[in-house]
Amino acid sequence: MIPIQDPVAILVYLLTLIGLIYWLNEQAALAGFFKYLPTVIWIYFLPMVSTTLGIIPESSALYDWIKTYLLPPALILLLLSANLPALAKLGPKAIFMMLIGTIGVVVGGAISLALFGPWLPVDAWQGMGALSGSWIGGSANMIAVGTSIGTRDDLFGIMIIVDTVVGYGWMGVVIFFSAYQQRLDDWNGVDTTLIDELNIQMNEVMNTGRRPMEFNDLITILAVGMVSGFIALKFGQWLPDLGRVITSFGWTIIIVTALGIILSLTSLSDLEKAGASHVGNIFLYLLLATIGAKADLNAILEAPLFLLAGVLWIIIHAVILFIGGRLVKAPMFLIATSSQANIGGVVSAPIVATVYQKSLAPVGLLMGVMGNVIGIYFGLFTAWVLSLIAGIYY
């Protein structure tokens, strides 16, 4: 079969594929299927299969254009919802637990690579660096960090497998512990008035005020995202490369993240009520689809060893988190939610929060947003640490 060569035709094909995946995800009969194999897997793997079958090519000018010009605006639009005043109202204990969970991801990744490094590929640090982005805030950070450090496309697929199998497996463990939260809180000597205080604070700040998207909203969203992303891209190109982690595109990611946080403090943050993050996600999923299209299906054979490394990584994260919770007498609710806000991001953190405390899903959401904000910076830092460890072996 002769693959589609026209960039516009490839774009139409990928958009259709993403739309089909999300349409199937909405079908009640397939709810259980997508629960265990989420949409992000299919957005990566179906383009990979399409390339293997010869429907679309392994390389195209479209793929590079999407990476260069759509990832920065995607991050800008996703960060417009970073409500820093609301995050501050979580209180010091909640923020401390979130950061302890993040430190657990950084340390866990370093120890895991140090132990498994001799048996992993030379560029394993880049794959694990990308995964650290996902485990500090979600898949948007994974793509941003992985792209900025040059993670090869088929290694992305392996990391998505690890993220899904280990990440969702850990979510199951966290939910299992909810049955024992009272015992664990008693053992920890927890003052449960913190839960009551969080309830009051979240009722004050969580008023989303969603509205239908109008034409003025859409054109403003596109203008803000594209202009801000382009400015960050040009500034990044002017700055010098600093080693293997902070490349010119790495600088772009750092600048665009800071710019997104700054814009979230302005009236432009109101665009999130009209669905700015939805537009950002479209850009992001297009990039993920092109990464899948360039990947090699045979690389999946490397996945089992990475899965073992991922399990050790999560265990270390959990141990550090429990030690931190013990030191500050944090309720099991905060320990579990902060863990899932790191590992799962804004999608699954509210679910775990609800399992522990039915009225406190907003805490999980805000912690997930906090992961989005800090994930790229900590992900790049983790990648730098991993590159130093990799230098010992290779």
The tens digit of pLDDT for each residue in 61-93 reads 999 999 899 989 998 998 887 777 777 777 788
Count CB neighbours of 7 within 10 A.
15
pLDDT at position 194? 66
Token digits for 4? 């589609």
pLDDT higher than threshold 80 for residue 394: no
The candidate with the shortest Cα–Cα distance to 153, out of 137, 122, 130, 135, is: 130
Report the pLDDT value the prediction gives residue 99, as an integer from 0 to 100. 94
pLDDT of residue 132: 95
Q: Give the helix ranges, DSSP H, for the chain.
A: 7-25, 31-36, 39-52, 61-79, 84-88, 92-116, 124-134, 139-149, 153-177, 181-188, 193-205, 215-238, 248-263, 276-293, 303-328, 332-343, 349-356, 361-393
DSSP 241: P
User: Which one is predicted more confidently, 317 or 394?
Assistant: 317
Q: Residue type for 280, please? A: G
DSSP state of 72: H
| 107, burial (CB in 10 Å: exposed 0-12, middle 13-18, buried 19+) | middle
List, in order, residues 6 or more apart from 392 with CB less than 8 Å away: 117
pLDDT the model gives residue 204: 56
In this predicted structure, what is the pLDDT of residue 259? Answer: 92
| pLDDT tier for residue 321 given thresholds of 50, 70 and 90 | very high
pLDDT recorded at residue 17: 96
Instruction: Write the DSSP symbol of residue 138.
Output: -
Which pLDDT score, from 0 to 100, does residue 279 have?
92
d(CA 6, CA 109) in angstroms, rounded, equals 41
Provide the terminal-to-terminal Cα distance of the chain, rounded to the nearest Å: 40
Angle of the 349-356 helix axis to the 361-393 helix axis, nearest 10? 130
Residue 372 or residue 221, greater confidence: 221
What is the rounded average pLDDT for all residues in the chain? Answer: 87
pLDDT tens digit sequence for 179-212: 888 888 888 787 767 666 666 666 555 555 678 8
